[in-house]
Chain A
Amino acid sequence: MAERMVIPFGPQHPSLVEPIHMQLEVEGDTVLGVRPAFGFVHRGLEKLAEKRDWRQNVYLVERTCGICSFIHSLGYCLALEELLGVEVPPRADLLRVMWGELHRIQSHYLWLGLLADAVGFESLFMQTWRNRERVLDLNELTAGNRIVVSMCRVGGTARDLDAEMLDRVEATLDAAESEFGPVEHTFREDGGIARRLVGLGRITREEALGLGAVGPVLRATGEASDSRLLGYAGYGRLQVAPVTQAGGDAYARLLVRLGEIRQSMALLRQVLPLLRQEPGETLVPVRKDPTAGEALSRVEQPRGELIYYVRATGGKLLDRVRIRTPTFANLPALVHMVPGNEIGQVPALVLSIDPCVSCTER
């Protein structure tokens, strides 16, 4: 009988982009139990948000995540707008959808590249990240920045796009869509990727719901849950159908993310004509401070549902800002999935939930 021992996994590990630590209790090659530990990149953002003007917090919260920054600022602004009773111009709502979906595409591309790298498919990794560059170029074209675009404001967006800019966005989207085809085909059809992922980290729909899983981890179990169905920003005017799979394993999560890149491109195709047809203002100036009260917003990040809770007591400073990130919500599911797998499968398993540790620790 093999000896039982504890093996540390992380916080520094070749397969981890960000630090996370797990003590794996193993017998031979099989993991029997896991004890997680966090706190390596905790920045105290929620506390910082209590010390800054509620307007300054827009810039603070979008730095919670270095990948899907725009959606953080969107979630915060939606909560503040509810608290202030501000109605955002329809055109700003559409622009928010556009930048939100561009972030979703580049985030999923980032993950696909990391997955290709993790399974040793270097050419696919390079092709995937080459495609991602085109989306980042679109961010730069429309916002002036590639990742932290800083386009969301309480009351709307910081910029508008003219017709010429919309033409350039559409032309780039055409190219991005045609380039995605071969990459998607390889991920779906390559036998090596399927052999690594099929059956890995399988959870049922009931388990995922009980563990509070969100985003592609939950949708890969067949649960059609997507915060965009709430209709925030401009999503209420668009056709949004959650992308689901029934497998519940890492391969199903891959298929969900591939489907969501297609879905985001389709949403952009819906938004661009509306932006052409409906000129208007994009920002309502807000000159008052929030009165005492509380508000909560739910938005869909690439990794799942993101929640912002804000509480004000009147004045420029907020009394509490709570950020519930999707990776945080998915960690109980990850801890549930690891036991029973071999040590060598753990890196791919961790990667399969698309962890964002900076988000998680805030």
Chain B
Amino acid sequence: MVLLYHVALGVQMRHLGLRQNGGVAFPSVSGVLPGAWLYENEIQDQFEVTFAGLTPDYGGKLFLRRDVSGTPWGAPRG
């Protein structure tokens, strides 16, 4: 699977793609960009994707109720 990062500062923007095998955690960028915790937690909530080193990590229950199991979108395509 591929995770796309779009990073902007002012009018400048960079696009990066990180390819990873299924079942392997992506490295979190929340240690570098503190605001990334929300994006990575949302991806964890919706897809079968996890992030290593994510802070804070809501364990897939930021947008979902605590009694919900699984991820609504399943594994991402591609």
Contacts and interface: CB of A to CB of B under 8 A. Distances in A.
Contacts of A225: 10
The listed residue with most A CB atoms (<10 A of its CB), out of B34, B58, B65, is: B34
A329 B39 CA distance: 9
A254 interface: no
Contact of A361 (B11, B63, B72): B63
Given A36-B62, A37-B62, A39-B63, A212 B33 contact: yes
A229 B15 CA distance: 19
Contact of A309 (B6, B8, B10, B36): B6
B64 interface: yes
Nearest to A329: B35
A333 to B, nearest CB: 7
B35 A210 contact: yes
Nearest to B66: A37
Given A329-B35, A331-B38, A332-B34, A209 B62 contact: no
Contacts of A328: 38
A244 to B, nearest CB: 13
Report the interface size class on chain A.
Answer: 20 to 34
A332 B64 contact: no
B9 interface: yes
Contacts of A210: 33-35
A298 B11 CA distance: 9
B13 A212 contact: no
Contacts, number: 48
B9 A209 contact: yes
Interface of A, secondary structure class, is: mixed
A307 B36 contact: no
A211 B34 contact: yes
A213 B6 CA distance: 15
Contact of B35 (A230, A296, A333): A333
Nearest to A322: B4
A38 interface: yes
B44 to A, nearest CB: 13
A47 B73 contact: yes
B19 interface: no
A269 interface: no
B62 to A, nearest CB: 6
Interface of B: 4, 6, 8-11, 13, 15, 33-38, 58, 61-65, 72-73, 77
Q: Which 9 A-B pairs have the closest CB atoms?
A: A212-B35, A332-B35, A39-B63, A211-B35, A38-B63, A210-B34, A332-B38, A230-B11, A225-B10
